[in-house]
Structure 1
Amino acid sequence: MTHRWGRRRDFLQAAGLAIPALAMTSWPAWAIGTGVQVGFGQLKHAGNWDPRPEALRRLLWEIRKRTSIEVRRDATFVDMESDDIFQQPFLVLTGKGPMPEWSEKARQNVARHLRFGGFLYVDTPSPDDPFTSSVKREVEIIRKSLKGNQEFDSPTFQRVDPQHVLFKSFFLLKRVVGRHTQDTGVVGLDLDKRMVLAMTQNDLLGALERDRLGNWVYTCEPGGERQREMAIRFGVNLIMYATCLDYKSDQVHIPFILKKRRR
């Protein structure tokens, strides 16, 4: 039996994205690799699949500015029924309003993507938006399909502990905020002791949306620009978590964390 870590390593290395987290002992070492560009594969669905069309571009810009990771300029749009999904280790699903049921092919592709080492980030407008319930419906179907695979422990979809490594993969964070703060937690799907899906429900991408003139489209309530900054930081943490291997909660970026705590 091939362990999930081996599969994840194969997936990321095939895309040129794998970095051993514990080898990152200095700031310059956060580079993923010369000439390798990280990007997002944004999933298309039958609903309103792109309500924040500029947000991912902005997040990629922030990642480029704040880390030594080389990133693409734009997200790549991906049809869930296409094999192109397997060319994108980091998938993003967003929307607004109800999302029609996925096809069986789409569900199989997403489940296979997660099973073999991919990562999916889901951003919803709010806990009570119809898109959130649509996502939960599809994730539950996928979770049950993964549960039937005897190679892995039974997958769980539940709230993530605030001490999870996701909250300290680059920046030290206590919660997640977005355009608002209705729900400051993360709901995650764990598969074989690894989080393969993370969902936030506070319109994080809305906090990053700019117009063509470079102005922020939405205000962040109630925390203003500081809240927007925290949303950006969580976005950076996501990409660091998704593209690193073998994270151990107490050992992630130890020199950087100690430096931050001395301040």
Structure 2
Amino acid sequence: MKITSTLFSLIFCLLSFISFSQDIALLKYKGGGDWYANPTALKNLIAYCNSNINTKIDPKPQEVEVGSQDIFQYPFLHMTGHGNVFFSETDAENLRNYLISGGFLHIDDNYGMEPYITKELKKVFPDKDLNELPSNHGIFNTAYKFPEGLPKIHEHDGKRPQAFGIFHEDRLVLLFTLESDLGDGWEDPDVHNDPADVREKALKMGANIMKYAFEN
């Protein structure tokens, strides 16, 4: 039964990606963490991408549960939050099938998420680790150039921003951004009162992630 379920997911994923080439969704998860944080972030990022890098993304991002077959309708998933994350075995299998079939997940730590998500990702890929991406990785050099790698948007603990990835067959399938908080920079200007140049850096890096995910 598990093989049949996995096969169905892979076929459904392929057909969905053909039909929905440039749509994104916010990932809902269990555990009590605020998956709904940064409510204005994705709509602003989408608007920026549609205006500046020629994407044609639905301006209203959808919400999908990690264990639902609906995730296969979206080639790009975004996940954020501050706290606890929990994936059931079904959630983990569904997310793994999605990622190895061509999907892409960007996880943006909104401060405090890191210890929980790293533990849960071991359920998704028990044999894979999060590896830091070098500053010359393609994701920092697509639509816009970031020669020093991931930009720092919010201070939090004052640590340097880091971008980690998980690869499947040499394809980057998951990006985890830490100590940057891109999502805060994507929010409406009056939410965090970030300077215009800081918001611009966040949006440009978000556009890079989007462009890289859609083209690789």
Report the TM range for the smaller structure's normalisation: 0.7 to 0.9
Select which of 79, 102, 105 maps to 2:90: 105
2:183 is the counterpart of 1:216: no
Q: Show the 5 A alignment for 1:8-157.
A: 10=14, 14-17=18-21, 38-46=22-30, 47-99=33-85, 101-126=86-111, 129=112, 131-144=113-126, 147=127, 155-157=128-130
- SS of equivalent residue, structure 1 residue 133: helix
Shift of 1:226: 1.8
Shift of 1:216: 2.8
Q: Show the 5 A alignment for 1:1-12.
A: 10=14
Q: Distance in 2 between matches of 1:11 and 1:192?
A: 21
Name the structure 1 match of 2:7.
Answer: none
Aligned-residue CA RMSD (Å): 2.0
| 8 Å contact kept, 1:55–1:209 | yes
| 8 Å contact kept, 2:17–2:72 | no
Task: Give the letter for the 1:189 counterpart.
Answer: I
Task: Give the letter for the 2:76 counterpart.
Answer: F
Task: Give the letter for the 1:160 counterpart.
Answer: L
Task: Give the letter for the 1:209 counterpart.
Answer: E
Unaligned 5+ runs, structure 2: 1-10
Shift of 1:140: 2.1
Greater radius of gyration (CA): 1
Summarize deviations over 1:84-128 as a string: whole Å, max 9, x none. 1111110111111222x21111111100101111100000123xx
Summarize deviations over 1:201-233 as a string: whole Å, max 9, x none. 2211111111xxxx431134xxx3322211111
- SS of equivalent residue, structure 1 residue 188: strand
Name the structure 2 match of 1:240.
Answer: 211
Shift of 1:76: 0.8
Runs of 4 or more above 4 Å deviation: 9-13
**TM-score with structure 1 length normalisation?**
0.70
Unaligned 5+ runs, structure 1: 1-6, 18-37, 148-154, 246-263
| 8 Å contact kept, 1:208–1:216 | no
Shift of 1:141: 2.2
- SS of equivalent residue, structure 1 residue 235: helix
